[in-house]
Structure 1
Amino acid sequence: MADLSTFDPNSVGLKSNNIFGLPFKEDESELVLLPVPWEVTVSYRQGTARGPENVFDASMQVDLYDPDVVDGWKKGFYMLPVDKNIRKKSDYLRQCAELIISCLIDGGEVCKNEQLSDKLEEVNNGGKMLTNWVYEMTHNLLKEGKKVGLIGGDHSTPLGFVKALAGVHESFGILQIDAHADLREAYEGFTYSHASIMYNVLKEVPGVEKLVQVGIRDYCDEELELAQQSNGRVQTFFDKDIKARQYEGDTWKQICNDIINALPQKVYISFDIDGLDPKLCPNTGTPVPGGFEVEQIFYLFKQLHASGRELIGFDLNEVSCGEHSADGIDAIVGARVLYKLCNYMVAGK
């Protein structure tokens, strides 16, 4: 265990320490965070590849006292260094993806362009590489007995992590907080698109017995049909339906109870920051009007924990600060969401 005798939790966060200014090393930490600086297939605005770094920097402003999980930080949180090779690969493949997206927007057909077809194959191979890398990284951490969280990057990043968890847990559910359903098959031709993460999870990870989506407000006909024909494997709490229930007198507690009752005993949280009201994440890749206040989601987490369900892992994705990282609220909101997720991850029953 780390020697905390000289650490002052009430003092300024030191960047010479680790995430949230905590003085833990990897081997001393119960929870290890994997940063994944990847945003190859973003379809609107980029910047999420720098999300892990921006969240790390903003985390120094988060006070360590959490009334919901007092002294959770003492169990140790540690964020691994950002892999610069992964980020460099993302930057290169992003340029390839932009050419493909531009062709599609202009009404072109990628299959009729040999150069773009080669680039599409390269992007898809890159997505497969990233998935395998994330799997190996998280698999090894889980094998060491660590609890693990992932920080993206775009929302395609956690597929390998979900696969690694399926090797440890026979079955579990996913609580997805998101503006988008992410159930598209190979969106824009990209097999591992950020808009295809839950489609790929359902297809490739049979151990995911239930996907419960919360806050969805931007989706297409095919995604709706997939959810409706899933035989109950997918249950979606649409943003408009949640709001209508509240307008008509239901409390957020009642709605949270319904969400939690739809989940099995073991739960993985996949948090796309655009599930929040876009005033809290104005620079995220694809903001959508509507969504939640942070306090609503924290209350949902609290009720989930109180239900006795086991949190087996989480990801936080799509935190982008745009071109002016110092001026936006995105990173500090992301850091506070991350801290709450970390605390519940180590909270006892």
Structure 2
Amino acid sequence: MLDLTNFDQNGVSNPNNNVFGLPSTEENADLIIINVPWEVTVSYRAGTARAPENVLKASMQVDLYDPDFPDAWKRGYYLQPTDRTILLKSDFLRKEAELYIDYISKGEELLKNQFMCRTIKEVNEGGAYLNNWVYEQAKGYYNQNKLVCLLGGDHSTPLGLYKAQAEKHGAFGILQIDAHCDLRKAYGGLVYSHASIMYNALNEVPEIKNLVQVGVRDFGEDEWEYIKNSDYRVITYFDKEIKERQYGGDTFKNIAEEIVSKLPKKVHISFDIDGLDPKLCPDTGTPVPGGFELDRVFFLFKKIVESGRELIGFDLVEIGIGETDWNANVGARALYKLCNLLAGSN
């Protein structure tokens, strides 16, 4: 067990230590952050595959004192080192996917091009490989009685974690913070697209009892039809709806408590950073005007714990890479709050 009795949380972070400057190891940390450097199917801007390494560096500047969970960090947080095999596979398949996306975006027919047929087959097989890799990682840590979460990478990455959680916890719900619904079926023919993560989760993980989406402001008609026909398995709080309620005098506290009331006893948080106002993470993969301030999202997360629900895990995805470390700075602070919520409430 990790002994942090003599660790100076007020001192300068040692860059040779793990995330947030903690002297944690895979063996002695209670909370493991699976590092998934993957962005094969991003349809606009790349960079998220290298977010975990940038977030690790930025995390050294995060003060450990959190008034909501002042001692949570003492349980030890450990971010896996980047798996170079996964990163290189992502880089290779990303180039393949770019060629394919460019081809179909011009209206070309897939079946007329054998090279493109082979390309999409390889990309889809790569997605299946990644899902299984994440599943095996999460399952292994659960077998060691660890708390498990995930840092991406794009939003396609946590499907394997959801499957491992289903085996560990049984029925649960997902609170999704996102500018997008991610309910497209095999978007552009890419089965495990970042735009299809929640469609895949709901179809492949029956233990997910419901999905509550918050902050959505960019979606397709097919996704709207999916929501309407889901028999309330999917409940979406659109960004426009939330803001119009507040313009009319409703408080975010009331809205947050209403959102939480729609969740079951066990909850996973899926936090796509593009759910925030783009000024906070401008280089995310698919930025959309609007969105939340970070403190509002933290307030909503805190309400989950206060409600007596059990937080079983989280994924934090789509943190971009820009000319400065601002994206990673915001990402590191989001990661720390999520870690404290998970460790402090379990």
Render the CA deviation track for 1:139-178: whole Å, top value 9, x for unaligned. Answer: 1111110000100000000000000000012200000000
Separation (CA, whole Å) in 1 of partners of 2:235 and 2:43: 25
User: Residue 150 of structure 2 aligns with which residue?
Assistant: 150
Work out whether 1:337 is the aligned partner of 2:340: no
Deviation of the 1:11 alpha carbon = 1.0
User: Residue 291 of structure 2 aligns with which residue?
Assistant: 291
Amino acid at match of 2:146: K
The 1:101/1:348 distance shift into structure 2, 3 A limit, reads closer
Separation (CA, whole Å) in 1 of partners of 2:110 and 2:177: 33
Separation (CA, whole Å) in 2 of partners of 1:40 and 1:185: 17
User: Residue 89 of structure 1 aligns with which residue?
Assistant: 89
User: Residue 346 of structure 1 aligns with which residue?
Assistant: 343
SS at match of 2:60: helix
Q: Contact 2:54–2:325 (CA<8 Å) still a contact in 1?
A: no
User: Residue 239 of structure 1 aligns with which residue?
Assistant: 239
Q: Contact 2:311–2:345 (CA<8 Å) still a contact in 1?
A: no
Aligned pairs, how many? Answer: 346
Deviation of the 1:6 alpha carbon = 4.2
Taking every aligned residue pair, what percent have the same amino acid on both sides?
58
Report matched runs for 1:140-179 at 5 Å.
Answer: 140-179=140-179
Render the CA deviation track for 1:189-223: whole Å, top value 9, x for unaligned. Answer: 10000000000000000000010000000100000
Separation (CA, whole Å) in 1 of partners of 2:139 and 2:156: 18
Separation (CA, whole Å) in 2 of partners of 1:143 and 1:81: 20
Deviation of the 1:3 alpha carbon = 3.4
Report matched runs for 1:51-200 at 5 Å.
Answer: 51-200=51-200
Deviation of the 1:55 alpha carbon = 0.7
Work out whether 1:28 is the aligned partner of 2:28: yes
SS at match of 1:150: strand
Q: Show structure 1 runs of 4+ deviating over 4 A.
A: none
Deviation of the 1:108 alpha carbon = 1.4
User: Residue 248 of structure 1 aligns with which residue?
Assistant: 248
Task: Mark the runs of 5 or more structure 1 residues left unpaired by the alignment.
Answer: none
Amino acid at match of 2:165: L
Separation (CA, whole Å) in 1 of partners of 2:6 and 2:308: 35
Q: Contact 2:305–2:345 (CA<8 Å) still a contact in 1?
A: no
SS at match of 2:169: coil
Please give the TM-score of this superposition, normalised by the length of structure 2.
Answer: 0.98
RMSD: 0.9
User: Residue 279 of structure 1 aligns with which residue?
Assistant: 279
SS at match of 1:191: coil
Task: Mark the runs of 5 or more structure 2 residues left unpaired by the alignment.
Answer: none
Deviation of the 1:5 alpha carbon = 4.5
